[in-house]
Amino acid sequence: MDIKKPIRSFKDLEVYQNTYSASIEVISNIVSKLPKVERDDLADQLRRSAKAIPRLIAEGYSKKHQKKEFQKYLDDAMAESNEMIVSSSHARDLYSTYVDPKLCESLIDTYDKSSRQLYNLATKWKNFKER
């Protein structure tokens, strides 16, 4: 029997844990290895989106009792996660001599799963009654 731990903090959410870990991977092993020509574009986009997702989840969680506010943060986090799929695909397809394509593929899978988790969380939260 799978016993679920109660969620007492945003840190208990699997989607937070996964996107936080992925952000560290992106910044340490993708952004830092891109060519200089991409420092102001793709690298910047990867850096900002990767950091934004766990931040939006954390900030949204603090407003979990305000249904519309929480939904907005989850929607924004999902949008950033989808952006990470595209940006990671660009890094993999354009710069495979600079970055590990297998790492990019793993990150794409992580962000794809995270987008689905965020959607499911937002959908289930719709049943929550506003204060």
pLDDT in tens, the chain (131 residues): 556 777 788 999 999 999 999 999 999 999 999 999 998 899 999 999 999 999 999 999 998 888 888 889 999 999 999 999 999 999 999 999 999 999 999 999 999 999 999 999 888 876 655 44
Residue environment code for 98-111, b if the CB has 16+ CB neighbours within 10 A, otherwise e: ebeeebbeebbebb
Map out the domains of the chain as residue ranges: 10-125
* 19 closest CA partner among 85, 67, 68, 70: 85
> What is the reported pTM?
0.90
Nearest to 74 by CA among 92, 97, 56: 56
**Domain spanning 10-125: CATH 3.30.70.2170:** no
